[in-house]
Structure 1
């Protein structure tokens, strides 16, 4: 289990959430976490504004680019572009259940086409030197998960995939919304454990419904890595303990207050580039948990960070509200 340390703890790719600003903030909470971009389609990368879509801060390493697509040639081209931008890994999305993704013939619907996914992996492996990985579900709709997961896993590994990330739920493409697909289909962690037992030489990372570092630690008794999703984004304070609890290393910051203080120079630099304050502070709303003043912190950012011309002072003032309330509660 210790042979695949680079995948031991990862933060999931999450649409509209894990942009570069979010990843910079998460890196301040954990030196060891492997970070992932939002899913980017091959069409957007090949024909879009690459600097805007793919640009990232050097502090984010190790960081992986997640691709959405089903054409082997387009995926190979996009993977090479990502490698040239400096990404440390290329990950193929075979798990997203949204209607838009299905219409584009990528995401979870590809669970029904394991040979095509394998062709895509083989094409990307030929195009790049960095690891190529796949993030999938345990099945879709009426598929038998034990068979579906084994079939796609063996196909992509034979094609050269360097690791598998498995969201331990089915995706119901007929009848459930993308939001419902995150919660309603039952989790089957045991199936992912059995996959690892059957493929001891392949890094297997488990994802889905994992809510804490303590839970992650328990999963690591059975698999090589854990991917934390919504818990990492909505409750980022959890990441403060990731390095110490999962790697035995001290984390980069002792507290969330220290992390936000460390984030402010980045905020000021991005403001000077024309980035709006809210684009960065929106990732901080869950920073404080059960801390006096947390609500005032969130309210201040919601009211003031969205204003045109808002500067880093808004974030500092929000932090002062937390500190003042803490002092007031201690004094009381």
Structure 2
């Protein structure tokens, strides 16, 4: 078997973006990429509209649920629910830096409490048979020394965790917005690379600033996988390019075949009462970099909200794009 087949490729959980429609679309592009939900908090699952937050199509699998929380019992309960629904993995968010998340005592602020993270992990893993993983930063505020990062990892590893997804920036909990926290703190990929070298028994996936096949390939030489966020949102076809660079079997659908399949999905969703406005967001970047892309997007964002139950808007927009490869 090609050694590259063992490497991982994932779409990062992105709040307000990686909803079930986005995931369905991405699955049409690659049958091997691992998809993640948006972060869902435990209270939303335990006391909210469960179908709204956890509903997904079987065609999306494998899908990982990212949870936000810090109460071990609640996290365990949510993990059991997710496993029963067919999710393939549970991921604990230890990386989000927003004020709202901090007030709920979860996200990146939990890096200051590695023993609690270990307790949360153990509770979830004991509750389910599917994998439980951790997604973290490399540190928070001034506590971003490599030694502190490794101390956090080894504390959680002692509870049984063997897979860590590392956003290779620290989080600044005060003074920066979540958007700024994705770009302002410098990337320190060597933290993830050195962790893998020192702990080959761990599965290490790196996240942050990965926007080309070449960059992804450089990481695959040193860690077990890459997770990509905004670059896949802006240019979804990059998923296919990375899929093939990993040596996975080529997918048979070209862009038009993917679009045809997604239009059929949209039609089914419209019949359930959804608005086209929400369904077109994932496909805006499908023709990124091709002639007519700007007019494609303009037609969708103009006509989609206005003709919210008319799927022919997508076919009309497609007429603007030429020379599709």
Instruction: Settle same-fold status: TM greater than 0.5.
Output: yes
CA contact (8 A) 1:45 1:53 kept: yes
2:45 matched residue in structure 1? 45
1:266 matched residue in structure 2? 265
Mapped partners of 1:214, 1:292: distance in 2: 24
In structure 2, the residue corresponding to 1:15 is in which secondary structure? coil
In structure 1, the residue corresponding to 2:27 is in which secondary structure? helix
Mapped partners of 1:7, 1:124: distance in 2: 25
1:298 matched residue in structure 2? 297
CA contact (8 A) 1:29 1:252 kept: no
In structure 1, the residue corresponding to 2:70 is in which secondary structure? coil
CA contact (8 A) 2:40 2:68 kept: yes
Mapped partners of 1:170, 1:318: distance in 2: 41
Mapped partners of 1:118, 1:193: distance in 2: 22
Q: CA-to-partner distance for each residue in 1:174-199, whole Å, 9 max, x for gaps?
A: 22111111001000111110000121
1:91 matched residue in structure 2? 91
C-alpha spacing 1:3/1:241, structure 2 compared with 1 (3 Å): closer
Which moves more between the two structures, 304-313 or 19-28? 304-313
1:63 matched residue in structure 2? 63
In structure 1, runs of 5+ residues without a counterpart are: 328-332
Shift of 1:145: 2.9
1:330 matched residue in structure 2? none
C-alpha spacing 1:115/1:14, structure 2 compared with 1 (3 Å): same
Mapped partners of 2:34, 2:14: distance in 1: 14
Mapped partners of 2:248, 2:101: distance in 1: 39
Q: CA-to-partner distance for each residue in 1:33-63, whole Å, 9 max, x for gaps?
A: 0000000000100001111110101111111
Q: CA-to-partner distance for each residue in 1:221-261, whole Å, 9 max, x for gaps?
A: 0000100111011111211212211134102423x233212
CA contact (8 A) 2:42 2:78 kept: yes
1:187 matched residue in structure 2? 187
Structure 1 residues 119-130: aligned runs within 5 Å: 119-130=119-130
Mapped partners of 2:98, 2:240: distance in 1: 32
CA contact (8 A) 2:65 2:89 kept: yes
Which moves more between the two structures, 21-30 or 5-14? 5-14
In structure 2, runs of 5+ residues without a counterpart are: none
Mapped partners of 2:6, 2:73: distance in 1: 28
2:35 matched residue in structure 1? 35
> How many residues matched?
323
C-alpha spacing 1:314/1:31, structure 2 compared with 1 (3 Å): same
In structure 2, the residue corresponding to 1:40 is in which secondary structure? strand
CA contact (8 A) 1:193 1:223 kept: yes
1:215 matched residue in structure 2? 215
Q: CA-to-partner distance for each residue in 1:146-176, whole Å, 9 max, x for gaps?
A: 1222112112221122410000000011221
Which moves more between the two structures, 163-172 or 298-307? 298-307
Shift of 1:17: 0.4
2:315 matched residue in structure 1? 316
1:205 matched residue in structure 2? 205
Mapped partners of 2:213, 2:32: distance in 1: 13
1:279 matched residue in structure 2? 278
2:156 matched residue in structure 1? 156
CA contact (8 A) 2:234 2:288 kept: no
C-alpha spacing 1:43/1:264, structure 2 compared with 1 (3 Å): same
